Amino acid sequence: MKSVQYLVLIATVLGCSAALAQCACEPEARPEPTPEPRPFRWVKSDDTPLTLDGRRVGSLDHATVVRAEEERNALVRITVERWDKPYMQGWVSKDALLDENHAIGHFSGLIDRNKDDARAYYGRGTALCCVPAVINRSEVLKRAQADLEEAARLNPDFWEAHYVLARLLLDENLRFREAIGEFTELIRLDPKDGLAYLLRGQCYSGLGKDTEAEGDFSTAIRLMPKLAEAYLCRAETRLRLGKYDEVLQDVGQVRALGVQYTVDELTGKALAAKGDLKGAVEAFDAAVAREGEENPALFFDRADALAKLKNYRLALADYVVGEKECRPWGGCHLGPAKLAWFLATCPDRTIRDGHTAVNLALSACRTYAFHDAQRDEIDKSAIEGTMEGDFRLVWIRKEWRKWDYLDILSAAYAETRDYRQASEWCRKAIATAPEKERGALRERLKLYEAGKPYHVPE
């Protein structure tokens, strides 16, 4: 998928013009014949996930794809005007893309002849980005990053080099701070580049800087008023900022552009936050019908709204379905955690089940710890080989640090009347929780120490 995304990116940057000039340089002599060009199509076949600017956005209708391509083609027109066409031979022959290995060899030859050739470093770097996924892909991408950085160093005004480097940092490595620097350079080179503002806003969102992100998304919308993705990104940011009326306005703009993806989910979340729970349930109904298979978290959103409406039976059904649908995600921890909290703290005593809640909460903590260990490159066999009782004691210091899951586990133990375990885990949750959350946790700890469980107030 990543190699396909970078092919889309290269086609975007190069423009794939049908009348490209031939390279002024002599082509290298090669023992093997030049590979046949692969035809490139903007709209991919129905059996592959569609993308918007290289980002997977699910199954979109044809009209949405056409609008996305119109925005992309506008970027192509800007880019082609800047491009020194002779250097395109490494990538383009007539109207088709060449094999990436052929391109790497072509640009390596140019670099051998001239170590200060910024465009040759750029060409090889982009070709390396397109190498299909291999065992040593991280090393290949490091080489690509080094080439792109060298191209940008040799020519600080090289728009394309900054763009591909920024996308590499954002899409492959999630190195938001470095990517922000590259997108800022793009904006310096072209203050009217709405795509750069959009992508820099996504980097700010990744860093939790929602105010800065909202500003960049707003600028992107001003420059590209028909780009639905910019409205969606701003709506998600405003949801986190508590600007619920503005979220609904942005969602309305997305609907007007003919895009339906995620709009019902955002509508439901905004309405739930405003207190319109019935409206939220209706919105989540539509979201589940359209996107429930690919986004099981929608069942939890609807269940939360139903629980607040005191429709506990329907809420329980959604929590159970959501937990089941999350399993194919490779051991998702969200489903067990959500169901465990509901079974431990539901106001309806006929629904509460403390022992099941404990097992689910332990599963959520264990799964989250395993994923955390993978991110931290910890020996996974140590986790897999540890018994459940010892596991929490061995790994609490480093892995069991998700305070809200520890809170769920403590509530589950309290429901089984094991207040010693409940108090122990609640203290550990307090130790790792943000300051603003510790007040509520301390109140629950008082209950456990007094021999009382915690139930959500009706």
Q: What is the pLDDT of residues 124-169, one digit of tens each?
A: 888 787 776 665 777 888 898 899 999 999 999 988 888 888 888 8
Which amino acid is residue 48, in one-letter code?
T
Q: Which of 164-173, 213-222, 321-330 has the highest mean pLDDT?
A: 213-222
pLDDT, position 259: 85
Judged against a pLDDT cut of 90, whether residue 237 lies above it is answered with yes
- CA 252, CA 263: separation in Å to the nearest integer? 8
DSSP three-state, residue 52: strand
Which amino acid is residue 278, in one-letter code?
K
Pick the more confident residue, 101 or 326: 326
Banded model confidence at residue 370, pLDDT cuts 50, 70, 90: low
pLDDT, position 420: 95
1-173 carries CATH number 3.30.450.90:
no
Q: Which of 34-38, 73-77, 209-213 has the highest mean pLDDT?
A: 209-213
Which amino acid is residue 258, in one-letter code?
G
DSSP three-state, residue 456: coil
pLDDT, position 399: 52
Kindly report which listed range (12-16, 202-206, 209-213, 432-436) carries the lowest average pLDDT score: 12-16
Q: Is 271 left (phi over 0), alpha (psi -120 to 50) or beta?
A: alpha
Over residues 75-103, the mean pLDDT reads 45
367-391 in b/e form (b: 16+ CB < 10 A) is: bbbbebbeeeebeeeebeeeeeeeb
For tokens 């709506």, the residue is 235
Judged against a pLDDT cut of 50, whether residue 33 lies above it is answered with no
Over residues 303-330, the mean pLDDT reads 88
Q: At what angle do helices 118-129 and 100-113 cross, to 10 degrees?
A: 160
Domain ranges of the chain: 1-173, 262-329, 337-458
Judged against a pLDDT cut of 90, whether residue 354 lies above it is answered with yes
Judged against a pLDDT cut of 90, whether residue 276 lies above it is answered with yes
Over residues 69-76, the mean pLDDT reads 43
pLDDT, position 133: 62
- CA 56, CA 436: separation in Å to the nearest integer? 35
Distances (CA, A) of 366 to 132, 146, 357, 361: 33, 38, 14, 8
pLDDT, position 135: 58
Q: Are 335 and 322 in contact (CB under 8 A)?
A: yes
Among positive and negative, which fits the CA dihedral 305, 309, 315, 318?
A: negative
DSSP structure string for 68-134: HHHHHHHHHHHHHHH--GGGGGGTEETTEEPPHHHHHHHHHHHHHH-TT-HHHHHHHHHHHHTSPP-
Pick the more confident residue, 318 or 82: 318
Over residues 412-425, the mean pLDDT reads 96
Q: Are 104 and 132 in contact (CB under 8 A)?
A: no
DSSP three-state, residue 51: strand
Could you check whether 1-173 and 262-329 share the same CATH topology? yes
Residues in the chain, overall count: 458
DSSP three-state, residue 39: coil
pTM of structure: 0.69
The matching CATH number, chosen from 3.40.50.920, 3.90.226.10, 3.10.450.40, 1.25.40.10, for 262-329 is: 1.25.40.10
Which residue from 407, 393, 431 is spatially nearest to 357, judged by alpha carbons?
Answer: 407
Judged against a pLDDT cut of 80, whether residue 369 lies above it is answered with no
pLDDT in tens, 249-273: 999 999 999 888 889 999 999 999 9
pLDDT, position 380: 38
Over residues 361-387, the mean pLDDT reads 56
Judged against a pLDDT cut of 70, whether residue 8 lies above it is answered with no
Judged against a pLDDT cut of 90, whether residue 24 lies above it is answered with no
- CA 29, CA 440: separation in Å to the nearest integer? 72
Mean pLDDT of the chain: 76
Pick the more confident residue, 94 or 235: 235
Over residues 341-358, the mean pLDDT reads 95
pLDDT in tens, 423-448: 999 999 999 899 999 999 999 999 99
pLDDT, position 32: 42
Give the contacts of 364 (CB within 8 A, at least 6 positions apart).
333, 334, 336, 337, 340, 405, 408
- CA 88, CA 82: separation in Å to the nearest integer? 12
In this structure, what token pair is assigned to residue 245? 């009326």
pLDDT, position 331: 53
